[in-house]
């Protein structure tokens, strides 16, 4: 067993990021300024996006995508139950009503075949979550959205570096929302990015800074003008140059970090595929998987422990794990407000009850990966021994 605890998803921060942050601190410009603009431009180029806007979080990007598209009271927004609460909280914040659709059994993405049945005259938008970094079936979802004149928003919190049929996630003209939280494939500590059409992003930019007609960089930099107008009651959703400094360097070595993720996933797949105790994650042939998460599903009939016991025993062996996610419809607020029952979305519920996310980070060594695999099999063997003894 390991002597030290392996965190679930430690960020990989090098001297390049540290030097870039120091350069920002010395520049005298700490908040939204030249580095946020550079980061947005480079990110747009990386994702083949028409334009990009740096924001304080993916949650902020999702909220702006709704509000800038005039989603509000009386509207309905279709999304998945198997996502972090932020994807649905922003629908509530906009004043609209969330409508949940169950997920595909293999990818755990929203099931396009079930979206059509959930559309009503009040439906205004679809939020498609690219779960764990595996792109949702965008062709089918876009066709449904276009046929019903709906807004398509991509929750790409897990999906930087992924692609659908050769097109990078974020390259479409519809809004796509990315996360740079500490555990993500690219991190700025906290932060996010919104991509989409330039005209749409200009409205989102205004809303992201209190509704001001001109941001601080254009007012306080050399030659800037002090006057501004409040064009709408906006929000405080801007990214800082300190965060963007991290992002600039993370973006420069992103592909090497992704390759390390793929190497680790390959080792996991080799270790766990073909074992009746496990259901391993999939990657369809027409996508590039970002591998933000490695979600193992347990076949409890093959084990003597349930998911919760499995996690406790793996953690006791100094391996950090997580669960992605507790489905939206079993959280108390949403269950009570909308009357959702656990069995309303059976695929999401069954998967949740069996899933455990194993450590996945480019910071992990081969020994770390071996330790994870050994811990998983140690728990399985211990359980089998107890089962046989009983």
3-state secondary structure 265-323: HHHHHHHHCCCCCEECCCCCCCEECCCCCEEEEECHHHCCCCHHHHHHHHHHCCECCEC
Count of residues for the chain? 390
Q: pLDDT-derived band of residue 390, with 50, 70 and 90 as boundaries?
A: low
DSSP secondary structure, 193-218, as one string: EEEE-HHHHHHHHHHHBTTBSS-HHH
279 DSSP β-pair partners: 297
Domain tally, the chain: 2
Dist CA 199 CA 154 (whole Å): 18
Does some domain include residue 2? no
Domain that holds residue 161: 15-252
End residue of a domain, out of 197, 217, 252: 252
Does some domain include residue 9? no
End residue of a domain, out of 218, 252, 286: 252
Residues 222 and 371 both lie in one domain: no
* Residue 114 designated active-site: no
End residue of a domain, out of 205, 236, 252: 252
Average pLDDT over residues 14-27: 98
pTM of the model: 0.96
Does some domain include residue 246? yes
Does some domain include residue 10? no
What pLDDT shows up at residue 215? Answer: 62
Under DSSP, the state recorded for 136 is P
Residues 213 and 97 both lie in one domain: yes
Does some domain include residue 381? yes
- Mean pLDDT lowest for which of 149-163, 222-236, 279-293, 350-364? 222-236
CATH of the domain at 374: 3.90.1150.10
Please return the burial class of 385, using the count of CB atoms within 10 Å of its CB with bins 0-12, 13-18 and 19+: exposed
Task: Give me the catalytic one of 114, 184, 225, 337.
Answer: 184
What pLDDT shows up at residue 227? Answer: 79
| 155 in Cβ contact with 13 (< 8 Å) | no
189 DSSP β-pair partners: 181
Does some domain include residue 133? yes
Whole-number Cα distances in Å, 132 to 118, 295, 304: 24, 8, 27
| 110 in Cβ contact with 103 (< 8 Å) | yes
Q: Per residue in 350-365, pLDDT tens?
A: 999 999 999 999 999 9
Residues 263 and 248 both lie in one domain: no
Does some domain include residue 363? yes
Among residues 80, 86, 108, the alpha carbon closest in space to that of 293 is found at 108
CATH of the domain at 226: 3.40.640.10
Does some domain include residue 1? no
């Amino acid at each position: 067993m390991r002597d030290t605890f392996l965190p679930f998803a430690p960020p990989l921060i090098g001297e390049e990021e540290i030097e870039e942050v120091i350069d920002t601190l010395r520049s005298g410009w700490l908040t939204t300024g030249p580095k946020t603009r550079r980061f947005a431009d480079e990110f747009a180029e990386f994702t083949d996006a028409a334009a990009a806007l740096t924001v304080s979080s993916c949650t902020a990007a999702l909220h702006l995508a709704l509000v800038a598209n005039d989603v509000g009271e009386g509207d309905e927004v279709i999304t998945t139950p198997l996502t972090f609460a932020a994807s649905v909280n922003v629908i509530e914040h906009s004043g609209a009503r969330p409508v949940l659709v169950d997920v595909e059994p293999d990818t755990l993405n929203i099931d396009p075949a079930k979206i059509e049945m959930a559309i009503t005259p009040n439906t205004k938008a679809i939020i498609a979550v690219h779960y764990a970094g595996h792109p949702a079936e965008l062709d089918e979802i876009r066709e449904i959205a276009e046929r019903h004149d709906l807004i398509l928003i991509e929750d790409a919190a897990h999906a930087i570096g992924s692609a659908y049929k050769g097109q990078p996630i974020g390259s479409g003209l519809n809004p796509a929302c990315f996360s740079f939280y500490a555990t993500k494939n690219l991190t700025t500590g906290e932060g996010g990015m919104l991509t989409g059409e330039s005209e749409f992003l200009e409205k989102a930019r205004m809303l992201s800074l209190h509704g001001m007609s001109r941001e601080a960089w254009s007012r306080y930099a050399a030659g800037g003008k002090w006057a501004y107008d409040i064009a709408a009651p906006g929000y405080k959703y801007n990214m800082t140059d300190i965060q963007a400094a991290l992002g600039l360097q993370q973006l420069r070595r992103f592909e090497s970090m992704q390759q390390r993720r793929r190497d680790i996933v390959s080792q996991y797949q080799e270790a766990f595929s073909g074992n009746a105790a496990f259901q391993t994650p999939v990657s369809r042939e027409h996508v590039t998987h970002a591998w933000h998460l490695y979600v193992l599903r347990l076949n409890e009939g093959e084990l003597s422990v349930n998911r919760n016991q499995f996690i406790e025993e793996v953690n006791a062996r100094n391996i950090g794990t997580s669960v992605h996610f507790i489905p939206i419809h079993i959280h108390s607020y949403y269950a009570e407000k909308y009357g959702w029952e656990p069995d309303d979305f059976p695929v999401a519920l069954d998967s949740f009850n069996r899933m455990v996310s194993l450590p996945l980070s480019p910071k992990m060594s081969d020994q770390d990966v071996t330790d994870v695999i050994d811990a998983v099999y140690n728990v399985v063997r211990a359980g089998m021994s107890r089962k046989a003894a009983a």
